Homo-oligomer: A and B are copies of this chain.
């Protein structure tokens, strides 16, 4: 039996949706091992287990034909030269896409495939990003003042595989260079 249509508001600039089923909070301690500069990570964590990102999820049945959706908010900050970012993940059902619509802020989506292809796409308000099936994805907030806020949609049966990225990281990193933001190779990619 089909259930009932519904709608909700994505208010800007407040960015907390008017309806949600779950609020995920990820602090610095949840990203252990993901930042390149282990000393800077330890120093920052010793100071405070600060809030890195939040997700407001709108749940639907986890079956084909339905969508999961929500709002992702990455707060500004640096760990060494590296910008605050999400853990990043593959979908458990690998061949499923995801769409992001950027509502606020500045940043990048860092992506890669199991075969080693990489892509880093800029995010800015009004920008739609298509993450094709089979691409792992992580969002990075490069503004020093403003949250990176995106609305996301993915197939409700896709699931998440966080473990692969936790083990090997992403091949590309987004860092503050001397002359601006730089996309660099991750020298520790694949390290145990």
Residue numbers of A with Cβ under 8 A of B are: 1-12, 17, 58, 60, 64-67, 69, 93, 95-97, 99, 101, 109, 111, 113, 115, 117, 119, 121-123, 126-135, 151, 153, 155
Inter-chain contact B64/A153, CB cutoff 8 Å:
no
Given contacts A101-B151, A128-B151, A153-B153, contact A5 B65 (CB under 8 A): no
Q: Is the CB of A5 within 8 A of B121?
A: yes
Tell me which of B2, B12, B128 contacts A7 (CB under 8 A).
B128
Is A5 in contact with B99, judged by CB distance below 8 angstroms? no
Q: Which of B5, B66, B101, B133 contacts A66 (CB 8 A)?
A: B133
- Top 6 A-B pairs ranked by shortest CB distance? A2-B134, A7-B129, A65-B96, A5-B119, A65-B95, A65-B133
- Chain B, residue nearest A64 (CB): B64
| Cβ-defined contact, A101 with B10, below 8 A | yes
Partner of A128 from B2, B8, B96, B126 at Cβ < 8 Å: B8
B6 x A121 contact (CB < 8 A): yes
| Chain A to chain B contacts (Cβ below 8 Å), 24 pairs | A2-B113, A2-B115, A2-B135, A3-B132, A5-B121, A5-B130, A6-B129, A6-B130, A7-B121, A8-B127, A8-B128, A9-B126, A10-B101, A10-B128, A11-B126, A12-B126, A17-B128, A58-B130, A60-B132, A64-B95, A65-B97, A65-B155, A69-B99, A155-B155
